[in-house]
Amino acid sequence: MIDNVTQVAQDVLMRECEEFQQLFQRHRELDERLSTLGEQLFLSTDEKVEEVRIKKKKLVIKDRMAFMVRSH
């Protein structure tokens, strides 16, 4: 669970920081693609590679956003 200080920092960054907004949006887009892939019964080799790549990108974005929140 996110503590209040973290939530306030996220809210401020969402309102005032274009980079944070873009990261948040990109994370959401990647999450939607993962959901789409997850709905399939079988994934092709390319789709499996894409799934791993998306998960790694999401982690990088999440880490960047967390750094921005801690720095705020």
| Total structural domains within the chain | 1
> What confidence tens digit (pLDDT) does each residue in 12-60 have?
999 999 999 999 999 999 999 999 999 999 999 999 999 999 999 999 9
- Per the structure block, which two tokens stand in for 26? 């990109």
Does 11 score more than 70 pLDDT? yes
Is residue 62 within 8 A of residue 20, CB to CB? The reply is: no
Give SS3 for 42.
coil
- Per the structure block, which two tokens stand in for 34? 């993962």
* Parent domain of 61: 4-71
Q: What is the pTM of this model?
A: 0.87
Binned at pLDDT 50, 70 and 90, residue 72 comes out as confident
Count of positions (residues) in the chain: 72
pLDDT for the residue numbered 4:
87
